[in-house]
Amino acid sequence: MDAPQRLQELAYRIPYHYLPVAEGGRFSQHEYWSWGYRYLGRLEVALSLLGQHPFASLLDIGCGDGRFLREVRRRFARPRLLGIDVSENAVRWARALNPGLEFQTLDLLERRLDEQFDAVTLLEVVEHVSPERLPDVLRAAAVHLRPGGRLVLTTPHTNMRLDPRHFQHFDRARLCALLEPDFDRISCTPFDYVDWPTRALLQMLGGSGRFFLVTHAGLNAWFFRRYMKRRLYGSGESGCQRLAVAARKRAAPPDAGGGPAAGTD
In the predicted model, what is the mean pLDDT of residues 10-34? 88
Same domain for 135 and 227, yes or no, is: no
User: Looking at residue 170, what is its pLDDT?
Assistant: 98
CA distance 170 to 128: 12
CA distance 48 to 147: 22
Can you state the angle between helices 134-143 and 172-179, rounded to 10 degrees?
A: 60
| pLDDT of residue 14 exceeding 90 | no
CA distance 215 to 56: 39
Same domain for 112 and 179, yes or no, is: yes
Residue span of the structural domain in which 86 resides: 35-192+235-249
CA distance 74 to 69: 9
CA distance 210 to 131: 35
Residues in contact with 253: Cβ distance below 8 Å, sequence separation at least 6, in sequence order: none
Q: What is the mean pLDDT of the chain?
A: 92
Same domain for 216 and 93, yes or no, is: no
Kindly state the percentage of the chain with pLDDT values over 70. 95
CATH number at 177 reads 3.40.50.150
| pLDDT of residue 51 exceeding 70 | yes
Span 165-211, pLDDT tens digits? 999 999 999 999 999 999 999 999 999 999 999 999 999 999 999 89
User: Looking at residue 15, what is its pLDDT?
Assistant: 85
User: Looking at residue 83, what is its pLDDT?
Assistant: 98
Domain count, the chain: 2
Same domain for 80 and 204, yes or no, is: no
Residues forming a β-bridge with 60 = 83, 121
Residue 197's region, left for phi above 0, alpha for psi from -120 to 50, else beta, is alpha
In a domain, 264, yes or no: no
CA distance 198 to 221: 14
Same domain for 39 and 135, yes or no, is: yes
Span 53-99, pLDDT tens digits? 999 999 999 999 999 999 999 999 889 999 999 999 999 999 999 99
In a domain, 8, yes or no: no
pTM of the model: 0.90
Residues in contact with 83: Cβ distance below 8 Å, sequence separation at least 6, in sequence order: 59, 60, 63, 66, 68, 69, 91, 94, 101, 102, 103, 104
User: Looking at residue 258, what is its pLDDT?
Assistant: 52
User: Looking at residue 259, what is its pLDDT?
Assistant: 54
